[in-house]
Structure formats: structure tokens, C-alpha cells
Amino acid sequence: MGLFSGLAKAGLAKKAVTEARKPQNQRKLKGAVAKMRGRRGTTPR
């Protein structure tokens, strides 16, 4: 089962990277990151 689990995780990671390259998704990610940073109230170290 370990091999299958590793392959599944690799497939999901590849899909996430592919989706993150699309311009409309980059805007969404940037907005989500800004929202999280604003919620935390401090700058990351």
C-alpha cells in the first residue's frame, strides 16, 4: 500500500502545480495568502 499511497500523493502534487500555473488560479491563491496574512496580523519570519 505504501507504493500506491506515494503515487497518489505525487499525482495530486502534480495536479496542484499544474492548476497553480493558470493565471486565474494565481489570483485566487494570492488573495487567499493575503487574507491569511491579514488574519494572523504579523509578518512571516
CA distance readout (Å), 27 to 1, 23, 34, 39: 37, 6, 11, 18
Express each pLDDT in 1-45 by its tens digit: 688 899 999 999 998 888 888 888 888 888 888 988 888 765 555
pLDDT of residue 39: 81
User: In the structure grid, which three cell numbers stand for residue 44, read together?
Assistant: 512571516
pTM of the complete model: 0.47
From the list 26, 24, 22, 2, the residue with the least C-alpha distance to 10 is 2
